[in-house]
Protein backbone atom coordinates (compact mmCIF):
# COMPACT_ATOMS: atom_id res chain seq x y z
CA UNK A 1 0.00 0.00 0.00
CA UNK A 2 1.64 3.29 -1.03
CA UNK A 3 2.11 6.02 1.55
CA UNK A 4 -0.16 8.98 0.86
CA UNK A 5 1.69 12.29 1.31
CA UNK A 6 0.27 14.76 3.79
CA UNK A 7 -0.20 18.51 3.44
CA UNK A 8 0.34 20.69 6.50
CA UNK A 9 -2.52 23.13 6.99
CA UNK A 10 -2.00 26.67 8.29
CA UNK A 11 -2.62 25.58 11.90
CA UNK A 12 -0.15 22.67 11.56
CA UNK A 13 -2.85 19.98 11.22
CA UNK A 14 -1.82 17.35 8.67
CA UNK A 15 -4.25 16.19 5.98
CA UNK A 16 -3.67 13.24 3.61
CA UNK A 17 -3.39 14.70 0.11
CA UNK A 18 -5.53 11.92 -1.37
CA UNK A 19 -8.87 11.10 0.18
CA UNK A 20 -12.22 9.59 -0.73
CA UNK A 21 -15.34 11.64 -1.50
CA UNK A 22 -18.84 10.38 -0.76
CA UNK A 23 -21.05 12.89 -2.61
CA UNK A 24 -23.92 10.92 -4.22
CA UNK A 25 -23.08 7.72 -2.37
CA UNK A 26 -26.54 6.52 -1.21
CA UNK A 27 -26.83 6.76 2.59
CA UNK A 28 -27.74 3.08 2.93
CA UNK A 29 -24.60 2.02 1.03
CA UNK A 30 -22.17 4.49 2.58
CA UNK A 31 -20.86 2.37 5.46
CA UNK A 32 -19.98 -0.54 3.14
CA UNK A 33 -18.49 1.74 0.46
CA UNK A 34 -16.30 3.58 3.00
CA UNK A 35 -15.21 0.29 4.59
CA UNK A 36 -14.11 -0.84 1.14
CA UNK A 37 -12.19 2.44 0.72
CA UNK A 38 -10.48 1.90 4.09
CA UNK A 39 -9.53 -1.55 2.88
CA UNK A 40 -7.85 -0.06 -0.19
CA UNK A 41 -5.93 2.32 2.09
CA UNK A 42 -7.85 5.62 2.06
CA UNK A 43 -7.69 7.37 5.43
CA UNK A 44 -9.34 10.68 4.51
CA UNK A 45 -13.09 10.87 3.93
CA UNK A 46 -14.89 13.94 2.55
CA UNK A 47 -18.58 14.09 3.45
CA UNK A 48 -21.12 16.88 4.11
CA UNK A 49 -24.39 17.45 5.92
CA UNK A 50 -25.96 17.95 2.48
CA UNK A 51 -24.95 14.45 1.31
CA UNK A 52 -27.14 12.79 3.95
CA UNK A 53 -24.55 10.09 4.57
CA UNK A 54 -22.51 11.23 7.59
CA UNK A 55 -24.02 8.45 9.69
CA UNK A 56 -22.71 5.87 7.21
CA UNK A 57 -19.23 7.39 7.44
CA UNK A 58 -19.43 7.19 11.24
CA UNK A 59 -20.60 3.60 11.10
CA UNK A 60 -17.71 2.67 8.79
CA UNK A 61 -15.17 4.21 11.17
CA UNK A 62 -16.60 2.22 14.09
CA UNK A 63 -16.87 -1.05 12.14
CA UNK A 64 -13.37 -0.68 10.66
CA UNK A 65 -11.64 -0.99 14.03
CA UNK A 66 -9.29 1.81 12.94
CA UNK A 67 -8.16 4.27 15.58
CA UNK A 68 -10.14 7.45 15.15
CA UNK A 69 -6.85 9.36 15.12
CA UNK A 70 -5.77 7.47 12.01
CA UNK A 71 -8.71 8.71 9.94
CA UNK A 72 -9.18 12.29 8.69
CA UNK A 73 -12.85 13.26 8.36
CA UNK A 74 -14.17 16.42 6.72
CA UNK A 75 -17.79 17.55 6.84
CA UNK A 76 -19.52 20.72 5.72
CA UNK A 77 -22.23 23.01 7.01
CA UNK A 78 -25.41 22.84 4.96
CA UNK A 79 -26.66 26.00 3.26
CA UNK A 80 -29.79 26.36 5.36
CA UNK A 81 -27.83 26.73 8.62
CA UNK A 82 -25.82 29.90 8.10
CA UNK A 83 -27.29 31.77 11.07
CA UNK A 84 -24.84 31.64 14.01
CA UNK A 85 -26.96 29.52 16.36
CA UNK A 86 -28.20 27.30 13.53
CA UNK A 87 -24.61 26.58 12.50
CA UNK A 88 -23.66 25.52 16.03
CA UNK A 89 -26.73 23.30 16.32
CA UNK A 90 -26.15 21.76 12.88
CA UNK A 91 -22.56 21.02 13.82
CA UNK A 92 -23.68 19.20 16.97
CA UNK A 93 -25.92 17.03 14.79
CA UNK A 94 -23.00 16.33 12.47
CA UNK A 95 -20.99 15.10 15.46
CA UNK A 96 -23.87 12.95 16.60
CA UNK A 97 -24.21 11.33 13.17
CA UNK A 98 -20.46 10.79 12.76
CA UNK A 99 -19.95 9.71 16.37
CA UNK A 100 -17.08 10.89 18.54
CA UNK A 101 -16.44 14.40 19.77
CA UNK A 102 -14.63 16.09 16.91
CA UNK A 103 -14.25 16.30 13.14
CA UNK A 104 -10.87 16.92 11.59
CA UNK A 105 -12.06 19.64 9.24
CA UNK A 106 -15.37 21.51 9.07
CA UNK A 107 -16.22 23.76 6.12
CA UNK A 108 -18.80 26.34 5.15
CA UNK A 109 -20.13 24.45 2.11
CA UNK A 110 -21.17 27.46 -0.03
CA UNK A 111 -20.89 31.20 0.72
CA UNK A 112 -24.55 31.93 -0.21
CA UNK A 113 -23.79 35.66 -0.52
CA UNK A 114 -27.22 36.58 -1.90
CA UNK A 115 -29.16 35.31 1.07
CA UNK A 116 -26.83 35.04 4.08
CA UNK A 117 -23.94 36.71 5.85
CA UNK A 118 -21.16 34.18 5.56
CA UNK A 119 -18.92 36.24 7.87
CA UNK A 120 -21.30 35.57 10.77
CA UNK A 121 -21.35 31.91 9.75
CA UNK A 122 -17.56 31.94 9.83
CA UNK A 123 -17.64 33.28 13.40
CA UNK A 124 -19.69 30.20 14.36
CA UNK A 125 -17.02 27.97 12.84
CA UNK A 126 -14.38 29.86 14.83
CA UNK A 127 -16.38 29.05 17.95
CA UNK A 128 -16.41 25.36 16.95
CA UNK A 129 -12.64 25.49 16.45
CA UNK A 130 -12.09 27.23 19.80
CA UNK A 131 -14.00 24.61 21.72
CA UNK A 132 -12.19 21.73 19.98
CA UNK A 133 -15.13 20.48 17.94
CA UNK A 134 -13.03 20.69 14.78
CA UNK A 135 -9.24 20.41 14.47
CA UNK A 136 -9.34 22.83 11.53
CA UNK A 137 -11.98 24.96 9.81
CA UNK A 138 -12.25 26.13 6.25
CA UNK A 139 -14.52 27.14 3.42
CA UNK A 140 -15.74 25.75 0.14
CA UNK A 141 -16.69 27.50 -3.08
CA UNK A 142 -15.37 30.84 -1.82
CA UNK A 143 -14.34 33.38 -4.46
CA UNK A 144 -11.50 35.89 -3.79
CA UNK A 145 -13.83 38.61 -2.43
CA UNK A 146 -15.49 36.12 -0.05
CA UNK A 147 -12.09 35.00 1.20
CA UNK A 148 -10.89 38.55 1.76
CA UNK A 149 -14.01 39.47 3.71
CA UNK A 150 -13.56 36.48 6.02
CA UNK A 151 -9.84 37.12 6.49
CA UNK A 152 -10.30 40.84 7.17
CA UNK A 153 -13.29 40.34 9.44
CA UNK A 154 -12.10 37.52 11.69
CA UNK A 155 -9.12 36.16 13.60
CA UNK A 156 -8.88 32.92 11.61
CA UNK A 157 -7.64 32.37 8.08
CA UNK A 158 -9.50 29.39 6.57
CA UNK A 159 -7.30 26.28 6.51
CA UNK A 160 -8.67 25.20 3.12
CA UNK A 161 -10.82 26.40 0.25
CA UNK A 162 -12.51 23.45 -1.45
CA UNK A 163 -13.39 24.40 -5.03
CA UNK A 164 -14.25 22.82 -8.37
CA UNK A 165 -11.04 21.98 -10.23
CA UNK A 166 -10.30 19.54 -13.03
CA UNK A 167 -8.26 19.67 -16.23
CA UNK A 168 -11.06 21.57 -18.04
CA UNK A 169 -11.37 24.09 -15.17
CA UNK A 170 -7.91 24.69 -13.74
CA UNK A 171 -8.84 27.66 -11.49
CA UNK A 172 -5.31 29.07 -11.49
CA UNK A 173 -6.30 32.55 -10.33
CA UNK A 174 -8.30 31.35 -7.34
CA UNK A 175 -5.60 28.82 -6.45
CA UNK A 176 -3.08 31.67 -6.44
CA UNK A 177 -5.29 33.72 -4.09
CA UNK A 178 -5.59 30.72 -1.78
CA UNK A 179 -1.82 30.26 -1.79
CA UNK A 180 -1.19 33.95 -1.17
CA UNK A 181 -3.14 33.64 2.09
CA UNK A 182 -1.70 30.27 3.15
CA UNK A 183 -4.99 28.50 2.39
CA UNK A 184 -4.66 24.93 1.05
CA UNK A 185 -6.60 24.23 -2.13
CA UNK A 186 -8.89 21.20 -2.28
CA UNK A 187 -10.11 20.16 -5.73
CA UNK A 188 -13.67 18.85 -5.95
CA UNK A 189 -14.87 16.80 -8.93
CA UNK A 190 -11.18 16.16 -9.77
CA UNK A 191 -12.05 14.07 -12.83
CA UNK A 192 -15.11 16.21 -13.64
CA UNK A 193 -17.34 13.25 -12.75
CA UNK A 194 -15.77 11.33 -15.64
CA UNK A 195 -16.13 14.05 -18.28
CA UNK A 196 -12.37 14.42 -18.87
CA UNK A 197 -11.59 10.71 -19.07
CA UNK A 198 -11.82 10.37 -22.86
CA UNK A 199 -9.56 13.33 -23.44
CA UNK A 200 -6.84 12.30 -25.93
CA UNK A 201 -4.11 14.20 -24.08
CA UNK A 202 -4.85 12.35 -20.84
CA UNK A 203 -5.19 8.95 -22.52
CA UNK A 204 -1.98 9.43 -24.52
CA UNK A 205 0.04 10.47 -21.45
CA UNK A 206 -1.52 7.54 -19.59
CA UNK A 207 -0.47 5.05 -22.27
CA UNK A 208 3.08 6.30 -21.99
CA UNK A 209 3.14 5.55 -18.24
CA UNK A 210 0.89 2.48 -18.18
CA UNK A 211 -1.75 4.51 -16.35
CA UNK A 212 -5.40 5.36 -17.02
CA UNK A 213 -6.61 8.84 -17.85
CA UNK A 214 -8.20 9.06 -14.37
CA UNK A 215 -4.84 8.31 -12.78
CA UNK A 216 -3.13 10.92 -14.98
CA UNK A 217 -5.68 13.58 -14.04
CA UNK A 218 -5.39 12.77 -10.32
CA UNK A 219 -1.60 12.77 -10.54
CA UNK A 220 -1.72 16.20 -12.19
CA UNK A 221 -3.71 17.55 -9.22
CA UNK A 222 -1.30 16.02 -6.72
CA UNK A 223 1.76 17.41 -8.51
CA UNK A 224 0.14 20.87 -8.49
CA UNK A 225 -0.01 20.51 -4.70
CA UNK A 226 -3.78 20.30 -4.36
CA UNK A 227 -5.76 17.91 -2.14
CA UNK A 228 -8.13 15.50 -3.95
CA UNK A 229 -10.81 12.99 -2.96
CA UNK A 230 -12.30 11.26 -6.01
CA UNK A 231 -15.60 9.49 -5.48
CA UNK A 232 -16.38 5.99 -6.69
CA UNK A 233 -18.59 3.18 -5.51
CA UNK A 234 -16.61 0.74 -7.68
CA UNK A 235 -13.87 -1.16 -5.78
CA UNK A 236 -11.56 -1.51 -8.83
CA UNK A 237 -11.76 2.25 -9.39
CA UNK A 238 -11.01 2.89 -5.70
CA UNK A 239 -7.77 0.95 -6.18
CA UNK A 240 -7.07 2.62 -9.53
CA UNK A 241 -7.50 6.10 -8.07
CA UNK A 242 -5.20 5.19 -5.16
CA UNK A 243 -2.34 4.08 -7.41
CA UNK A 244 -0.96 7.47 -8.39
CA UNK A 245 2.18 7.64 -6.28
CA UNK A 246 4.40 5.44 -8.46
CA UNK A 247 4.37 7.78 -11.45
CA UNK A 248 5.78 11.25 -12.08
CA UNK A 249 4.55 13.49 -14.89
CA UNK A 250 7.32 15.56 -16.44
CA UNK A 251 7.13 19.33 -16.99
CA UNK A 252 6.02 18.92 -20.60
CA UNK A 253 3.19 16.55 -19.63
CA UNK A 254 2.06 18.86 -16.83
CA UNK A 255 2.04 21.75 -19.28
CA UNK A 256 -0.01 19.82 -21.82
CA UNK A 257 -2.62 19.05 -19.18
CA UNK A 258 -2.55 22.70 -18.02
CA UNK A 259 -3.33 23.54 -21.64
CA UNK A 260 -6.65 21.67 -21.49
CA UNK A 261 -8.16 24.41 -19.31
CA UNK A 262 -11.20 25.88 -21.04
CA UNK A 263 -12.90 27.58 -18.11
CA UNK A 264 -15.54 24.87 -18.12
CA UNK A 265 -17.36 25.11 -14.79
CA UNK A 266 -19.74 22.23 -14.18
CA UNK A 267 -21.28 23.34 -10.89
CA UNK A 268 -23.08 26.62 -10.11
CA UNK A 269 -21.12 29.86 -9.78
CA UNK A 270 -20.74 30.49 -6.03
CA UNK A 271 -22.21 33.99 -6.36
CA UNK A 272 -25.34 32.58 -7.97
CA UNK A 273 -26.01 29.71 -5.57
CA UNK A 274 -29.08 30.60 -3.51
Strand partners, 107: 76, 138
- CB 219 → ligand NDP: shortest distance, Å? 12
What distance in Å separates the CA atoms of residue 158 and residue 126, rounded to the nearest whole number?
Answer: 10
Q: Smallest distance, Å, CB 186 to ligand NDP?
A: 8
Nearer to ligand NDP, 131 or 208 (CB): 208
Q: Which alpha helices (DSSP H) does the chain contain, by range?
A: 27-40, 54-64, 84-98, 118-130, 144-153, 172-180, 200-209, 213-224, 235-242, 251-258
CB of 24 to ligand NDP, least distance (A): 6
Query: How many CB atoms are located within 10 Å of the residue 71 CB?
Result: 21
Least distance (Å) from ligand NDP to the CB of residue 66? 19
Name the DSSP letter for residue 2.
Answer: P
Interface residues toward ligand NDP, by CB under 6 A? 21-23, 46, 109, 140-141, 162, 188-194, 197, 214, 229-234, 237, 240-241
Compute the distance between CA of residue 201 and CA of residue 101 in angstroms, rounded to an integer: 46
Burial of 68 (0-12, 13-18, 19+ CB in 10 A): middle
Supply the residues annotated as catalytic.
51
Strands of the sheet with 160-164, listed across from one edge:
20-21, 44-46, 72-77, 103-108, 134-140, 160-164, 184-188, 227-228
Q: Rounded distance, CA 34 to CA 39, Å?
A: 9
Amino acid sequence: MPDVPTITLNNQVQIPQLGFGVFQVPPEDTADVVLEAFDVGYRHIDTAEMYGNEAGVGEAIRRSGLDRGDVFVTSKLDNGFHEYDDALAAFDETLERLGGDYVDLFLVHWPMPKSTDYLKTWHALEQILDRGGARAIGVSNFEPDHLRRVIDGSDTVPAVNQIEIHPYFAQNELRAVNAEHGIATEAWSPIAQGEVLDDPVLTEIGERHGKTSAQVALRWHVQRGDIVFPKTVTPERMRENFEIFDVELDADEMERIDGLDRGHRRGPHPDEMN
